[in-house]
Every structure is written in C-alpha cells, then in structure tokens.
Structure 1
C-alpha cells in the first residue's frame, strides 16, 4: 500500500533533521578531539619530593657593543646582586668544546670558522678536544675543596684545550696574582691567551667567569648551540635582505627603547641598564620585532619564517643544554646569562620543565 503524501513529507523532514543533527554532532566531536587528545603535563610535579631547582635567566646586552672606555667595574652592582642569588651552576651563551669539535669534523656542513682555534692549547697539552674534555671530567670528579695553585694551572690548561675559555679564565682568576704564571701545563702562549681574555669586553668573562671565581665554582657551562640555525638557502644574500627588511618594519617602539639602552650603557653603573633590559615591556618589544615581524613579512621563498624556525631550534637546543647542566642536581640554583632577546624563550620553556621554578630577574636586580 502506498503512503500518503503527508506521511512521506513528515518522515522525510524527520530523517533529514536526524542526519543534520548527526553531522553536527560528528563535527563537534572532530573539533573537540585534538583538545581531548592532549595530555596535560602541568602539575605532574605537584607531589614531588625535595625542593625545586631555582633557575634565574639574566638577559644581557653584549658588552662588546658598549661604548669605548667601558670600565668592568661598572658591572660590580650587577655582580653583587647575582652573587646574592648564590648560583651553584652558571651557564653562558657560548658554544661548548664538544659542539666545536663536532663542527670541525663536518666542515662541509658548518664551515671552517665555527669556533676559535685551539692549536696553541693542543701544542701545550698534546691533547685534542675529546681527550681534553675527558681529562677535565676526571679532574672535576675528584676536585678538592681547596685546590693548590698547581692544580688550578693544570685544570686551566686542560680547559683551554677543551675549548672552554670562560671556565679556564674562572680558574685563572682564582689564583693569587703571584701564581698567575706559566707552569703545570700552562705555557707562556696560554698565559698570554688568558691575558688577552682579561681585556675582552665579553659578558661570558666579565660576568660569568668573574662570578664563578667569586663564588669558588670550578667552571661555567657553555649552553649555546648553532647546529640547528645553520640555515642553508639557495640565495643567502636575498635571505639576509628579506630577514632584515622584516625586522625593519614596526621598529618605532624598539628604536625608542634602544635610545634608553644606549643612554644607560654609558653610565658608570650598569645595574640600571640590566634592570631595564630584563623588564617584561622591553623583552616583549624585542620578541615582537624579532619574530612577529618575521612571521608577517611577505616572502615568496618564506625566508623570514625559515629564520624563525632556525631561531626556535637554536633556543630549544640551548634550553636543553641548560637542563642538562643541572640534570644530576635537581635542587640546584642555576644562573643562565644570555642575550636579552633569548630570555622570553628561556623563561617560557625552562618554566615548563618538571621540578623547575623560574626566578624573577627583576626581584634579584632590584
């Protein structure tokens, strides 16, 4: 028996409505699925035993860019504040001897000038970088509470052979001045190199090495990494121009702030400068120009976005190096000294680590 037209119309409408409802429900499920699939990693350490590691990221200007006539004593106020934090571990924006050795073994990928030469240290000690690193590890494992001058000179020579100049300088500074002489593996050439390091306007030496010596730490830890931002493109000149053009957009606020930085950089006390470059407002402007402008910039080849990928890779690997530095010391107090533009990434990513608390730099510098 055929159905009445009214029955067909009513049931067709009901069927269509049901299908639409089912489709909406499926779409809602699909849209919600990615969020539901994410595991919440926050709070996994809420019941941890023992204290958290305290990590202070100090954003710094590059001292090599400061005006002529810069006096290292201008950093004394900053050093006093950092010493009061009492870090157990200090990391710096420098490449490790291990990374330098890796690059030297792959010149096609990394080039020939990736790191400074260690030839004079190799001649003095007879050691290549891997051998020197092994000797350094052995010395530090049995490092006494009160090392003799001879032990410090020997370790300094080994550190130079391991391409760890900042740590070697920290050992040199812990020698009485009368003991800062050749001997125990340090020949005249290496003593001369340490003398050159003493004159360099570099935060790795004038902040990290000096602070390590002041606190009696045996070394600092190199945390920089350029293996991930060694970008290869067909036209490197065009790449550089595209990235520079991206950064040039929207710089009005940063240019104004950089004037303040230059003024503060000329002062006899650089503590106000370090307070300024560690402020959230300044760091936000840096991040916006550095990355947001690059992500917005039109480029058929995507050059600015490629640069951002390299920037993020570099920061990820640096953060991993810092985490490794206190891997076996879960309650350590860690100071990471790095160019201010890196600080927002360091704070964000280190702050996601389990058992890690980020220390407010503004509170330390106040």
Structure 2
C-alpha cells in the first residue's frame, strides 16, 4: 500500500518538529563513540527497577533442614513488592558446565550449619564474595594455557549464557515499563546480569545488599 500524500506530509512535519541533533563546534572534538546513556535521558514514566538476587542451590539442603530459616529472607523480598519474579532454569549443557566449574565459598557451610540463610544470602551477594569467586573461576580459565584454549571457550560460553538470560529477562518485562522485577539466579550469574542490565536505557539495577540489610522488612 502506497502512503497517502497527507501521511507523507505528516511525517515531514513531525521530522521538522523534532529537535535537531547537537552539532559539535569547530573547536570541539567529535565523540569517539555513541553515548547510549545520553539517549536514555528524559524518557516518559518511572524507571523499571530490577533486583538481581544471587542464590545458592537450595535443592542440595538436607530433607530435614528447617526451612523456617528462610522467613527473614522472604520477608525482605516481599517488602520489595515485585510485580514480576524471574528464575533461572538450567539446561542439560548448563548442568554439565556447572558440575565442572561450581564455585566453592569457604563460609557458605557455616551459615547453613547455624540456620542463618539471610546471612548466607548477604554473603553470596556481597561484591567482595562475588569478585573473589569470579577471579578464581573465570579469571583462572582465561589464563588456562592449553593449545585449544578450553578456558577461554568456557568463559565465552558463560558470557553468552548470561547475555541470553539478560535478553530473556528484558523481553519478559519489556511491555510493562516501570514495574519492579526480582530475578533470582545462581550467585555467579549476578555480577554479569547486573552489568548487562545497566546498559539498558530505562532500567535501574537495585542494590540487593540494601534490600537484605539489617532492619529492613
């Protein structure tokens, strides 16, 4: 169907009404790359708030473990009042990789032994804990010296996996701008998802440590 003359005229008027792009002055250096952050300024409505919670695999707890220890954690997550809750599903390939490269935290078992699951989640989501785990796992694999560079292949797989997770999450709430989202993932996914989601124009990635802080409900 060919556009009508009135439709074309309307498009021309809309283009003329749009603000002209800023022009660099003769003495001002042209930008070396596109500033995506500037594009996201001044959008309509509130930001979509996303909280990414790094989790351990609770399915590994003993069958007689007292799950009442989860209540302080669940109370804080409920206080966030998420409109959408997303979780990670692990594929067969993912299970294989995780079984080979599962990160071990020295302090995790101590929290479990004393029934302090809220403390465990604060520990798992602490930047220093995640930095140490990533440096040991992915940093170590980047330095792996086999001729096939298996370590770098693993890191590439991991980054691609997290990119897919970020894309799936973005698509899940793309038609609901301004809502609150809680995304529960394995703890080693969290820093990657935080980094990728911060590149989205109208999102605010929340500090999960603040949600889990003492005295919050």
Q: Could you state the TM-score of these two structures normalised by the residue count of structure 1? A: 0.47
For residue 335 of structure 1, the aligned residue among 173, 176, 182 is 182
- 2:41 and 2:89 map into 1 onto residues whose CA distance is 34
- 2:170 and 2:187 map into 1 onto residues whose CA distance is 19
Question: Which structure is higher in helix share?
Answer: 1
- 2:38 and 2:181 map into 1 onto residues whose CA distance is 21
Deviations 1:329-349 (A, max 9, x none): 110100000010000001111
- 2:120 and 2:95 map into 1 onto residues whose CA distance is 31
Pairing 1:6-85 to 2, within 5 Å after superposition? 37-67=32-62, 69-85=64-80
Task: Give the secondary structure class of the aligned counterpart of 2:192.
Answer: helix
Q: Which residue of 2 aligns with 1:282?
A: 129
**Alpha-carbon RMSD:** 2.6
Q: Which residue of 1 aligns with 2:171?
A: 324
The yes-or-no answer on 1:312 pairing with 2:159 is yes
Q: Which residue of 2 aligns with 1:90?
A: 85
Q: How far apart are residue 284 of structure 1 and its match?
A: 0.5
Q: Which residue of 1 aligns with 2:212?
A: 365
Which sections of structure 1, spanning at least 5 residues, go unmatched?
Answer: 1-34, 101-113, 115-225, 232-239, 249-253
- 1:290 and 1:340 map into 2 onto residues whose CA distance is 13
- 1:36 and 1:44 map into 2 onto residues whose CA distance is 14
- 1:316 and 1:61 map into 2 onto residues whose CA distance is 20
Q: Which residue of 1 aligns with 2:11?
A: none
Answer whether contact 2:144 2:150 (CA < 8 A) is retained: no
Q: How far apart are residue 67 of structure 1 and its match?
A: 4.4
- 2:95 and 2:60 map into 1 onto residues whose CA distance is 24
- 1:283 and 1:302 map into 2 onto residues whose CA distance is 24
Q: How far apart are residue 66 of structure 1 and its match?
A: 3.0
Q: Which residue of 1 aligns with 2:119?
A: 272
Which sections of structure 2, spanning at least 5 residues, go unmatched?
Answer: 1-29
Which structure has more RCO (C-alpha within 8 Å, separation ≥ 6)? 2
The 3 A distance-change label for structure 1 pair 230 and 94 is closer
Q: Which residue of 2 aligns with 1:141?
A: none
Deviations 1:9-39 (A, max 9, x none): xxxxxxxxxxxxxxxxxxxxxxxxxx95421
- 1:58 and 1:303 map into 2 onto residues whose CA distance is 29
